[in-house]
Amino acid sequence: MTFEGLDGTGKSTQLRKLAEVLRRAGHKVVETREPGGTVTGEKIRRLLLDSKTEGLSPPAEMALMFAARAQHIAEVIQPALDRGQIVVCDRFSDSTEAYQGYGRRLGSEKVLTLHRILCGNLQPDLTILLDSNPAISLGRARRRNQAATARIAGGPNQGAAKHSSDENRFEQQNRVFFARVHEGYRAIASRERQRIMVIDARGTPSETHRQILEAVERKLKLLSGVS
Ligand code: TMP
């Protein structure tokens, strides 16, 4: 199962809440994220998200996303699925299609082809797409990352600040970029109606959580017995 959406839509919070409910229902759940999820993947994440990484070409950016993902599938996702566990992943290949395919204008075809070649075309059983107003969610993401960067800079180890990574590189893109990413997500959702549930994330976190539980129950029937 995967969570998708623009930065700042509350994905990580909602993923944690859902994982808790699934565990209470007796399932073994692996919570993970992309880019990242393995030691190598987290190194690639630092490189990709650090605003000090300059001049990365769009194809190189896409290749790094897939390198992290291929490692993640081999090391974490496939073994967990083989053990019968539920994997809940914060972002997956739909992010590459929305951000690199649409946002960076590389096109869907390249992303889908690389997904087939490098990821064995592994598809989630269900994708929750948190849909929100791009301006609102982006404002949230930027405030959060600036606060985190300020904590790094003002921390006890200030001398190390210039070597520490922030996660601002994508948030620094402009409104037009995020409008394209948003359009990309909508296009993917209408192509993949069976797999992707679009959830309106403009309400309170608990309203969004309730809608997610309904979608998960409707689609996967995983929650019987949980009140
Ligand atoms: P997040 O984990 O905080 O959502 O940040 C990850 C950032 O990386 C986010 O801005 C979206 C971006 N991203 C891509 O551009 N392509 C991808 O394939 C993935 C997984 C993430």
* Preceding omega of 35 cis (within 30 degrees of 0): yes
Say whether pLDDT at 155 is over 80: no
Find the range with the poorest average confidence among 13-17, 59-63, 219-223. 219-223
Do the Cβ atoms of 50 and 165 come closer than 8 Å?
yes
Say what the pLDDT of residue 200 is. Answer: 95
Which of the four pLDDT bands, split at 50, 70 and 90, describes residue 45?
Answer: very high
Say whether pLDDT at 118 is over 50: yes
C-alpha 95 – ligand 1 centre gap (Å): 6
Which of the four pLDDT bands, split at 50, 70 and 90, describes residue 225?
Answer: low
Task: List, for residues 137-151, the tens digit of each pLDDT value.
Answer: 888 888 887 888 777
d(CA 128, CA 220): 12
Sign of the dihedral defined by the CA atoms of residues 215, 143, 31, 115, in that order: positive
Choose which residue among 91, 138, 181 to substitute to test ligand 1 binding: the one with the highest number of ligand atoms within 8 A of its C-beta: 91
Nearest CA to ligand 1 atom 19: 95
Ligand 1 site, CB within 6 A: 7, 33-35, 49, 65, 90-91, 95-96, 99-100, 170
Q: Mapped to the 3 state alphabet, what secondary structure does the chain carry?
A: CEEEECCCCCHHHHHHHHHHHHHHCCCCEEEEECCCCCHHHHHHHHHHHCCCCCCCCHHHHHHHHHHHHHHHHHHHHHHHHHCCCEEEEECCHHHHHHHHHHHCCCCHHHHHHHHHHHHCCCCCCCEEEEECCHHHHHHHHHHHHHHHHHHHHHCCCHHHHHHCCCCCCCCCCCHHHHHHHHHHHHHHHHHCCCCEEEEECCCCHHHHHHHHHHHHHHHHCCCCCCC
Q: Which two tokens stand for residue 191?
A: 């192509």
Say whether pLDDT at 160 is over 70: no
Distances (CA, A) of 27 to 31, 57, 162, 202, 220: 12, 41, 42, 29, 13
Nearest CA to ligand 1 atom 3: 7
Q: Are strands 2-5 and 196-200 parallel, antiparallel or unpaired?
A: unpaired
C-alpha 80 – ligand 1 centre gap (Å): 22
C-alpha 75 – ligand 1 centre gap (Å): 20
Say what the pLDDT of residue 42 is. Answer: 98
Q: What is the mean pLDDT of the segment spanning 110-129?
A: 98
Choose which residue among 48, 92, 128, 170 to substitute to test ligand 1 binding: the one with the highest number of ligand atoms within 8 A of its C-beta: 170
d(CA 227, CA 21): 9
Q: Mean pLDDT for the chain?
A: 92
* Count of residues making up the chain: 227
